[in-house]
Copies of this chain bind each other. A is one copy, B any other.
Protein backbone atom coordinates (compact mmCIF):
# COMPACT_ATOMS: atom_id res chain seq x y z
CA UNK A 1 0.00 0.00 0.00
CA UNK A 2 1.25 3.47 -0.86
CA UNK A 3 1.91 6.14 1.76
CA UNK A 4 -1.00 8.26 0.45
CA UNK A 5 -3.40 5.36 0.78
CA UNK A 6 -2.21 4.55 4.29
CA UNK A 7 -2.87 8.16 5.30
CA UNK A 8 -6.36 7.98 3.83
CA UNK A 9 -7.17 4.77 5.74
CA UNK A 10 -5.71 6.01 9.05
CA UNK A 11 -7.75 9.23 8.67
CA UNK A 12 -10.93 7.24 8.10
CA UNK A 13 -10.36 4.83 11.00
CA UNK A 14 -9.52 7.56 13.52
CA UNK A 15 -12.45 9.69 12.34
CA UNK A 16 -14.85 6.74 12.61
CA UNK A 17 -13.67 5.86 16.14
CA UNK A 18 -13.31 9.02 18.18
CA UNK A 19 -11.73 8.70 21.63
CA UNK A 20 -10.71 5.09 20.93
CA UNK A 21 -7.04 4.23 21.41
CA UNK A 22 -5.43 2.30 18.57
CA UNK A 23 -2.03 0.69 19.07
CA UNK A 24 0.67 1.24 16.46
CA UNK A 25 0.69 -2.53 16.01
CA UNK A 26 -2.93 -2.36 14.88
CA UNK A 27 -1.97 -0.03 12.05
CA UNK A 28 1.28 -1.78 11.12
CA UNK A 29 -0.58 -5.11 10.82
CA UNK A 30 -3.50 -3.63 8.94
CA UNK A 31 -1.42 -1.59 6.53
CA UNK A 32 1.58 -3.85 6.13
CA UNK A 33 3.98 -1.06 6.97
CA UNK A 34 6.74 -0.55 9.52
CA UNK A 35 6.24 1.37 12.72
CA UNK A 36 8.35 4.33 11.60
CA UNK A 37 6.25 4.70 8.44
CA UNK A 38 3.03 4.56 10.44
CA UNK A 39 4.39 7.17 12.86
CA UNK A 40 5.07 9.48 9.92
CA UNK A 41 1.59 8.84 8.52
CA UNK A 42 -0.05 9.59 11.86
CA UNK A 43 1.91 12.86 12.10
CA UNK A 44 0.46 13.91 8.73
CA UNK A 45 -3.08 13.05 9.89
CA UNK A 46 -2.53 14.97 13.13
CA UNK A 47 -1.48 18.07 11.20
CA UNK A 48 -4.37 17.77 8.75
CA UNK A 49 -6.98 17.34 11.52
CA UNK A 50 -5.49 20.28 13.39
CA UNK A 51 -5.42 22.56 10.34
CA UNK A 52 -9.02 21.71 9.50
CA UNK A 53 -10.14 22.32 13.09
CA UNK A 54 -11.73 18.90 13.59
CA UNK A 55 -9.82 17.94 16.68
CA UNK A 56 -6.61 16.64 18.20
CA UNK A 57 -4.81 13.42 17.34
CA UNK A 58 -2.72 12.38 20.32
CA UNK A 59 0.03 9.83 20.29
CA UNK A 60 1.55 7.88 23.15
CA UNK A 61 4.99 6.37 22.74
CA UNK A 62 6.47 3.28 24.37
CA UNK A 63 5.42 -0.37 24.45
CA UNK A 64 1.79 0.47 25.19
CA UNK A 65 1.88 3.38 22.76
CA UNK A 66 -0.97 4.29 20.55
CA UNK A 67 -3.00 6.87 18.73
CA UNK A 68 -6.30 8.47 19.70
CA UNK A 69 -8.46 11.11 18.07
CA UNK A 70 -10.32 13.64 20.24
CA UNK A 71 -12.97 15.48 18.16
CA UNK A 72 -13.30 19.20 18.75
CA UNK A 73 -15.70 21.78 17.41
CA UNK A 74 -14.52 25.30 16.64
CA UNK A 75 -16.60 27.96 18.38
CA UNK A 76 -17.49 29.46 14.99
CA UNK A 77 -18.74 26.09 13.77
CA UNK A 78 -20.76 25.52 16.95
CA UNK A 79 -22.43 28.90 16.58
CA UNK A 80 -23.19 28.28 12.89
CA UNK A 81 -24.81 24.90 13.64
CA UNK A 82 -26.87 26.19 16.56
CA UNK A 83 -27.97 29.26 14.61
CA UNK A 84 -29.18 26.97 11.84
CA UNK A 85 -31.25 25.02 14.39
CA UNK A 86 -32.50 28.23 16.03
CA UNK A 87 -33.68 29.48 12.64
CA UNK A 88 -35.60 26.26 12.06
CA UNK A 89 -37.33 26.62 15.45
CA UNK A 90 -38.69 30.00 14.43
CA UNK A 91 -40.56 28.65 11.40
CA UNK A 92 -44.21 29.62 11.99
CA UNK A 93 -45.45 26.12 11.08
CA UNK A 94 -43.71 24.73 14.16
CA UNK A 95 -46.10 26.40 16.59
CA UNK A 96 -48.22 23.87 18.47
CA UNK A 97 -51.24 24.73 20.60
CA UNK A 98 -50.34 25.12 24.26
CA UNK A 99 -47.17 27.08 23.61
CA UNK A 100 -45.12 24.12 22.40
CA UNK A 101 -42.72 24.11 19.49
CA UNK A 102 -42.46 21.10 17.19
CA UNK A 103 -38.81 20.03 16.94
CA UNK A 104 -38.98 16.22 16.88
CA UNK A 105 -37.92 16.19 13.20
CA UNK A 106 -34.85 18.33 13.90
CA UNK A 107 -33.52 16.10 16.66
CA UNK A 108 -34.30 12.96 14.61
CA UNK A 109 -32.32 14.23 11.62
CA UNK A 110 -28.84 12.68 11.54
CA UNK A 111 -27.34 15.99 10.41
CA UNK A 112 -28.47 17.72 13.59
CA UNK A 113 -28.15 14.84 16.04
CA UNK A 114 -24.56 14.24 14.89
CA UNK A 115 -23.62 17.87 15.17
CA UNK A 116 -25.31 18.28 18.55
CA UNK A 117 -23.56 15.12 19.76
CA UNK A 118 -20.25 16.47 18.52
CA UNK A 119 -20.80 19.80 20.28
CA UNK A 120 -21.79 18.19 23.59
CA UNK A 121 -18.94 15.66 23.43
CA UNK A 122 -16.41 18.41 22.82
CA UNK A 123 -17.68 20.21 25.96
CA UNK A 124 -17.36 17.10 28.16
CA UNK A 125 -14.40 15.45 26.41
CA UNK A 126 -11.93 15.84 29.26
CA UNK A 127 -14.18 14.82 32.15
CA UNK A 128 -13.72 11.07 32.08
CA UNK A 129 -17.38 10.39 31.26
CA UNK A 130 -18.05 6.62 31.32
CA UNK A 131 -21.75 6.58 30.44
CA UNK A 132 -24.27 8.87 28.75
CA UNK A 133 -27.84 8.53 30.02
CA UNK A 134 -31.05 9.95 28.63
CA UNK A 135 -34.78 9.54 29.11
CA UNK A 136 -36.83 8.43 26.13
CA UNK A 137 -37.68 9.61 23.50
CA UNK A 138 -36.70 12.76 21.64
CA UNK A 139 -33.26 13.14 23.21
CA UNK A 140 -32.11 9.65 22.21
CA UNK A 141 -30.47 10.58 18.88
CA UNK A 142 -28.36 13.40 20.38
CA UNK A 143 -27.47 11.26 23.43
CA UNK A 144 -26.44 8.37 21.20
CA UNK A 145 -24.20 10.59 19.08
CA UNK A 146 -22.66 12.15 22.18
CA UNK A 147 -21.95 8.67 23.53
CA UNK A 148 -20.51 7.74 20.17
CA UNK A 149 -18.12 10.70 20.09
CA UNK A 150 -17.13 10.05 23.72
CA UNK A 151 -16.74 6.31 22.95
CA UNK A 152 -18.95 5.22 25.86
CA UNK A 153 -22.28 3.31 26.09
CA UNK A 154 -25.66 4.99 26.30
CA UNK A 155 -28.09 4.08 29.10
CA UNK A 156 -31.75 4.49 28.29
CA UNK A 157 -34.18 5.53 31.02
CA UNK A 158 -37.77 4.52 30.30
CA UNK A 159 -40.95 6.45 31.08
CA UNK A 160 -42.92 3.25 31.63
CA UNK A 161 -41.98 -0.11 33.06
CA UNK A 162 -41.34 -2.47 30.14
CA UNK A 163 -41.12 -6.23 30.49
CA UNK A 164 -38.13 -6.25 28.12
CA UNK A 165 -36.01 -4.24 30.57
CA UNK A 166 -36.22 -6.89 33.30
CA UNK A 167 -36.01 -5.70 36.92
CA UNK A 168 -35.73 -1.92 37.19
CA UNK A 169 -34.80 0.83 39.60
CA UNK A 170 -37.39 3.60 39.58
CA UNK A 171 -37.80 7.12 40.92
CA UNK A 172 -40.76 9.46 40.92
CA UNK A 173 -40.46 12.92 39.45
CA UNK A 174 -42.65 15.91 38.72
CA UNK A 175 -43.20 16.38 35.01
CA UNK A 176 -43.10 20.09 34.30
CA UNK A 177 -45.26 19.99 31.21
CA UNK A 178 -48.16 18.25 32.96
CA UNK A 179 -47.30 19.04 36.57
CA UNK A 180 -48.07 15.43 37.47
CA UNK A 181 -46.05 12.94 39.45
CA UNK A 182 -44.60 10.38 37.05
CA UNK A 183 -42.12 7.53 37.35
CA UNK A 184 -38.95 6.76 35.39
CA UNK A 185 -37.26 3.37 35.21
CA UNK A 186 -33.75 2.12 34.58
CA UNK A 187 -33.00 -1.53 33.97
CA UNK A 188 -31.00 -3.04 36.82
CA UNK A 189 -28.94 -4.80 34.16
CA UNK A 190 -27.26 -1.45 33.47
CA UNK A 191 -24.61 -1.22 36.17
CA UNK A 192 -23.76 2.41 36.87
CA UNK A 193 -22.32 1.91 40.36
CA UNK A 194 -19.37 4.28 40.74
CA UNK A 195 -19.60 5.33 37.08
CA UNK A 196 -19.16 8.90 35.88
CA UNK A 197 -22.26 9.75 33.87
CA UNK A 198 -23.38 12.61 31.68
CA UNK A 199 -27.15 13.23 31.66
CA UNK A 200 -28.64 14.46 28.38
CA UNK A 201 -32.19 15.59 27.73
CA UNK A 202 -33.82 17.35 24.82
CA UNK A 203 -35.84 19.95 26.69
CA UNK A 204 -35.99 21.63 30.09
CA UNK A 205 -38.67 23.91 31.44
CA UNK A 206 -38.93 23.46 35.20
CA UNK A 207 -36.16 20.88 35.39
CA UNK A 208 -38.32 18.12 36.89
CA UNK A 209 -37.16 15.44 34.48
CA UNK A 210 -33.49 16.38 34.88
CA UNK A 211 -33.90 16.29 38.66
CA UNK A 212 -35.57 12.90 38.39
CA UNK A 213 -32.65 11.63 36.33
CA UNK A 214 -30.18 13.01 38.88
CA UNK A 215 -32.07 11.29 41.69
CA UNK A 216 -32.12 8.04 39.72
CA UNK A 217 -28.35 8.27 39.17
CA UNK A 218 -27.85 8.80 42.91
CA UNK A 219 -30.08 5.80 43.56
CA UNK A 220 -27.91 3.51 41.40
CA UNK A 221 -24.64 4.88 42.79
CA UNK A 222 -23.54 6.83 39.73
CA UNK A 223 -21.70 10.11 39.86
CA UNK A 224 -23.30 12.86 37.75
CA UNK A 225 -20.53 14.79 35.96
CA UNK A 226 -22.91 17.02 34.08
CA UNK A 227 -26.42 17.64 32.82
CA UNK A 228 -26.75 18.92 29.29
CA UNK A 229 -30.08 19.89 27.74
CA UNK A 230 -30.49 20.93 24.15
CA UNK A 231 -33.38 23.38 24.56
CA UNK A 232 -34.14 25.29 27.75
CA UNK A 233 -36.99 27.76 28.30
CA UNK A 234 -36.11 31.15 29.75
CA UNK A 235 -38.95 31.00 32.24
CA UNK A 236 -39.15 29.90 34.96
CA UNK A 237 -35.70 31.29 35.77
CA UNK A 238 -35.49 28.96 38.78
CA UNK A 239 -35.02 25.35 37.69
CA UNK A 240 -35.18 22.27 39.90
CA UNK A 241 -31.53 21.49 39.11
CA UNK A 242 -28.61 23.83 39.72
CA UNK A 243 -25.84 22.84 37.42
CA UNK A 244 -26.72 22.26 33.83
CA UNK A 245 -25.52 23.32 30.42
CA UNK A 246 -27.88 24.08 27.58
CA UNK A 247 -27.39 24.86 23.93
CA UNK A 248 -30.39 26.96 22.92
CA UNK A 249 -32.68 29.18 25.02
CA UNK A 250 -36.34 29.41 24.09
CA UNK A 251 -38.01 32.55 25.34
CA UNK A 252 -41.64 31.53 25.25
CA UNK A 253 -42.94 34.56 27.13
CA UNK A 254 -45.82 35.08 24.79
CA UNK A 255 -47.83 37.47 26.98
CA UNK A 256 -47.05 40.49 24.84
CA UNK A 257 -47.72 38.49 21.69
CA UNK A 258 -44.06 38.64 20.72
CA UNK A 259 -44.00 34.95 19.94
CA UNK A 260 -41.03 32.66 20.37
CA UNK A 261 -37.58 34.17 20.65
CA UNK A 262 -34.52 31.99 20.46
CA UNK A 263 -30.94 32.63 21.54
CA UNK A 264 -27.74 30.62 21.84
CA UNK A 265 -26.19 29.92 25.21
CA UNK A 266 -22.71 30.01 23.77
CA UNK A 267 -22.79 33.55 22.39
Contacts and interface: CB of A to CB of B under 8 A. Distances in A.
A215 interface: no
Interface in A2-55: 2-12, 15-16, 44-45, 47-49, 51-52, 54
Interface stretch (A140-148, A206-214, A234-242, A246-254): A140-148
A164 interface: yes
Contact of A163 (B51, B52, B100): B100
Given A104-B187, A141-B144, A44 B155 contact: no
Contacts of A70: none
A156 B9 contact: no
A110 B144 contact: yes
A264 B148 CA distance: 26
A137 B93 CA distance: 26
Interface in A112-126: 113-114
13 contacts: A4-B7, A4-B48, A6-B48, A8-B49, A9-B11, A9-B48, A102-B189, A103-B164, A105-B153, A109-B147, A110-B145, A113-B144, A136-B136
Interface of A: 1-12, 15-16, 44-45, 47-49, 51-52, 54, 93-94, 96, 98, 100, 102-105, 108-110, 113-114, 136-138, 140-141, 144-145, 147-148, 151-156, 158, 163-166, 177, 187, 189-190
